[in-house]
Structure 1
Amino acid sequence: MTEIVATTPGLYPLPDWAKEQLKNQKGNQKADLISGDESEEIEQSYEDVRTEFIDAQQAASLDRIVEGQGRWDDMLAHPLAVNDAVDTQGIVRYYDNNNFYRDPVVTGDLEATGDVANELEAAAEQVEEGLQAVLPGPYSLADLATDEHYGDDAAFQAAIADFLADEADLLPDVETLFLLEPSLVENAPGEGADERASDAIDTVAAATDAEVVVHPYWGALEEKVYAHVMDADIDALGFDLISDHEQNVYNAQEYGTPDDVALGIVDGQNTLVEEPETIEERIEWFTDQTQQNDYERIYATTNTETFYLPVNRFEEKLEALGALNKTEVKA
């Protein structure tokens, strides 16, 4: 019997009240220009945001609860943006979306800050079970950053992997860790770099006892990249069935999957809210297409972050995912 686990990859949209409040608290700066040294009132605002995110997930009966990453104004680059060895410079486009982050330029030896762990510690006070951590994957974080210290791509990626492993080691007790790896799709590693990307994922995964889910999105992995990611010691691999269902199914058919998979079957960027029955049909379609694979667990999730959605649509999508808990799904 396959276990269906309703969850998300985090990075939720800030409520309107929080956007306005934080803008005022930061002296009318853009909300994404955060130094990491917040005042007490800014910290309180983010705590209130976290509580709202957790309440929404619990009300929707999700099986895994994320912190929501309300402070991650620099998107996946956030763990570097708050690091003393990083100079956060000019605004750059976040992949091909109309969202932006500050370019994290690494200028010294990276050491873990415990910033993400602190957020999870706070979330753990409100979540009795099912807590899920979210980190950028090592390949994506290295891709989004600029190196002015380590000297070459291989050394830089290894340093990023070690940094994330140290951050993961500081996390409180969580059931699942989602490593978000859109760059594996958006800027696929070439020959040699694909194997290094797999090794980097191994480094991070080895640092935690949690179930590790590598979640690429905005398309499907190239075949060689897929094969190398399959070599990594991970518990589950993600498939963005919204952006490219055909190639993702082909990869699963041709190269197999881990025992667990994460299926991106709710659109994290489109305001159209899927019915629970539609989500169930998408799960069944994937399992029918990949009958040679015997899945122990399927994480049913949005394909991307929901940062781009209006808050009301975001909450409705949480409710649609949570409704899967009350419905028998054939898998």
Structure 2
Amino acid sequence: MTELVATTPGLFPLPDWAKEELSDLKGHQKGDLIGGDEGADIVAAYDRARGEAVDDQHDAGLDRVVEGQLRWDDMLAHPLAVHEGVETRGIVRYYDNNNFYRDPQIRGELDFSGDVAAELDSTAELTDDPLQAVLPGPYSLSDLATDDFYGTDEDLLAGVSEFLAGEVEAFPDHETLFLLEPSLVESPPGDGLDERVPEAISEVAAATDADVVVHTYWGALDEKVYAHLMDAEVEALGFDVVAGDRDDTVYNVTEYGTTSDVALGLVDGQNTRVESPETVHERVEWFTEQVPSQTFDTVYLTSNTELFYLPVSKYREKLETLAAATAQEVEA
């Protein structure tokens, strides 16, 4: 019997009160908000918002609780944007999602930061629910950076993976770790670098005893990228079954196999239409039926993308949908 686990890739929308309050507070604090340098009022506002995010997940009945990443103004690039060795420069658009962020330019070695670990420590104090950590995957983080230190794409990827592994080692106890890798779909690595990606991901995964999920989204992976990704030493791969051509994803899975656990992006993280639990469960069954030779121990039910793009009311409804969809069982 397959276990269904309701969770999310994090990066939640800020409550309206927090947007207004933080906009005002940050307008009075000059300079970049490097990790740990925020004023006391800003810290307090984020603490309150974090508490609401934890309560939202608990009230919805999710099986894993994330921190919410409400401080991540630069989204997936946040671990770089708050690093002392990185200069955050002008506004850029990372992906075709109509959102714009600052460009992180790496100026020095990516040594230990501890910024995300501190967020998770604060979250662990708020809940007894199983904790899930969220990080950008090493390829996506290196893809979003402007490198002015490491020199080559291979050295940059190695430096980023070493940095992320060091950050993970400082995390409090957590059940799962989601590594978000949309760049594997949107900006796939070329020949040579694609062979380095599973090694980089495995290095980060080895830094934790938790189950590691590499979650990809905004479409299907290129066949060659997927074949290499299967070499990564992780418990689960994540697939977007909302956006792009699902048949390409099914082809990859049937041709090259997959992990015994999978994460499925089943609700649309960028569309305000709220799916029903029945629709979500039907999508789980559709996927498992496409690969009848594969037995899944665990299926993580999640949104295909971050939920940052949604109004707060809709994001909360989608949390409830994911949790309710686990009430039924799936034979696999």
Sort the TM-score into its range (normalised by shorter chain).
over 0.9
Contact 2:46 2:70 in 1 (8 A): yes
Shift of 1:246: 1.4
Residue 24 (structure 1) aligned with residue 4 (structure 2): no
Match of 2:60, as an amino acid? A
Match of 1:273, as an amino acid? V
Shift of 1:207: 0.8
Contact 2:4 2:329 in 1 (8 A): no
What is aligned with 1:323?
324
What is aligned with 1:303?
304
Secondary structure, in 3 states, of the residue corresponding to 2:177?
A: strand
What is aligned with 1:188?
188
Secondary structure, in 3 states, of the residue corresponding to 1:277?
A: helix
Residue 122 (structure 1) aligned with residue 101 (structure 2): no
1:106-139 deviation digits (Å, cap 9, x = unpaired): 1111112110000001101122131000000000
Residues 156-195 of structure 1: pairs in structure 2 closer than 5 A: 156-195=156-195
Secondary structure, in 3 states, of the residue corresponding to 1:65?
A: coil
Give the Cα–Cα distance (whole angstroms) in 2 for the partners of residues 34 and 98 of structure 1.
23
Give the Cα–Cα distance (whole angstroms) in 1 for the partners of residues 201 and 305 of structure 2.
19
Shift of 1:28: 6.3
Contact 1:23 1:29 in 2 (8 A): no
Secondary structure, in 3 states, of the residue corresponding to 1:97?
A: coil
Residues 62-211 of structure 1: pairs in structure 2 closer than 5 A: 62-211=62-211
Secondary structure, in 3 states, of the residue corresponding to 2:296?
A: coil
1:22-52 deviation digits (Å, cap 9, x = unpaired): 011112689x964432101100100111111
Q: Mean alpha-carbon deviation: is it higher for 74-83 or for 91-100?
A: 91-100
Match of 1:269, as an amino acid? Q
What is aligned with 1:261?
262
TM-score where L is the length of structure 1: 0.97
Contact 1:61 1:325 in 2 (8 A): no
Shift of 1:258: 0.5
Secondary structure, in 3 states, of the residue corresponding to 1:71?
A: coil
Contact 1:64 1:132 in 2 (8 A): yes
Give the Cα–Cα distance (whole angstroms) in 1 for the partners of residues 326 and 228 of structure 2.
33
Shift of 1:328: 3.1
What is aligned with 1:240?
240
List structure 1 runs of 4+ shifted beyond 4 angstroms: none
User: Does the C-alpha gap of structure 1 residues 77 and 84 become closer, same or farther in structure 2, counting only changes over 3 Å?
Assistant: same
Give the superposed CA RMSD: 1.4
1:267-302 deviation digits (Å, cap 9, x = unpaired): 000000000000000000000111111000000000
Secondary structure, in 3 states, of the residue corresponding to 1:17?
A: helix
Contact 1:178 1:213 in 2 (8 A): yes
Give the Cα–Cα distance (whole angstroms) in 1 for the partners of residues 202 and 322 of structure 2.
30
TM-score where L is the length of structure 2: 0.97
User: Does the C-alpha gap of structure 1 residues 252 and 104 become closer, same or farther in structure 2, counting only changes over 3 Å?
Assistant: same
Number of residue pairs the alignment of both structures matches: 330
Contact 2:76 2:135 in 1 (8 A): yes
Shift of 1:329: 3.8
Shift of 1:254: 1.1
Give the Cα–Cα distance (whole angstroms) in 2 for the partners of residues 47 and 210 of structure 1.
25
Residue 312 (structure 1) aligned with residue 316 (structure 2): no
Give the Cα–Cα distance (whole angstroms) in 2 for the partners of residues 91 and 85 of structure 1.
19
What is aligned with 2:54?
54
Contact 1:66 1:133 in 2 (8 A): yes
1:203-248 deviation digits (Å, cap 9, x = unpaired): 1011111100000110111111101110110100001000131111
Give the Cα–Cα distance (whole angstroms) in 2 for the partners of residues 29 and 118 of structure 1.
22
What is aligned with 1:10?
10
Secondary structure, in 3 states, of the residue corresponding to 2:230?
A: helix
Shift of 1:330: 4.1
Give the Cα–Cα distance (whole angstroms) in 1 for the partners of residues 86 and 212 of structure 2.
27
Contact 1:120 1:133 in 2 (8 A): yes
Give the Cα–Cα distance (whole angstroms) in 1 for the partners of residues 298 and 271 of structure 2.
26
Give the Cα–Cα distance (whole angstroms) in 2 for the partners of residues 27 and 243 of structure 1.
37
Secondary structure, in 3 states, of the residue corresponding to 1:26?
A: helix
1:183-208 deviation digits (Å, cap 9, x = unpaired): 00000011111111111101101111
Q: Which runs of 5+ in 2 are unaligned?
A: none
What is aligned with 2:275?
274
Q: Which runs of 5+ in 1 are unaligned?
A: none
1:29-88 deviation digits (Å, cap 9, x = unpaired): 89x964432101100100111111010000000001000000000100000111111011
Secondary structure, in 3 states, of the residue corresponding to 2:108?
A: coil
